[in-house]
Amino acid sequence: MIPRRFHKNLNKGCWTMKGKDCPTTHVKSVYLESVRIHQPNLNSKAVRTVRYEGGHRSVFTWFWSSRYQVGTLPPIPESAQRISYNPRVDDWFHIEGERVDTLSQVWLTESGECWGQ
């Protein structure tokens, strides 16, 4: 599969999928494997504006994978942990406060939660 980038679309209440040579697609849920996480550039003016001045939200972080399944998710195992990121307070995606840059599996749920391992 062609690598795709996935991020939470707060305006539409879904997940957005983007990639080279493909239209932007909005999906309710997606399962990813061999995931790389693009973290925010904390020195960027846009990030600083959102964090410190309450500016307009932009996409600073996303999940990147070429192995994904859109739609019905496989069951989330008990060993999976909640992935968190809030651009106004967090510096990066984290699991229980520990930064994560890669994960073997990620579940992006219809309710907007992220789970990974």
Residue count of the chain: 117
This prediction has a pTM of 0.83
pLDDT higher than 60, residue 86: yes
Q: What's the token pair of residue 83?
A: 């992935």
Phi, psi (deg, nearest 5) at residue 58: -135, 170
Q: Which residue has the higher pLDDT, 10 or 17?
A: 17
Report H helices in 1-117: 45-53
- Please write the tens of the pLDDT for every residue from 90-108: 777 889 989 999 999 999 9
The percent of residues in the chain predicted with pLDDT above 90, rounded, is 50
Burial of 70 per CB tally in 10 Å (0-12, 13-18, 19+): middle
According to the model, what pLDDT value does residue 29 have?
96
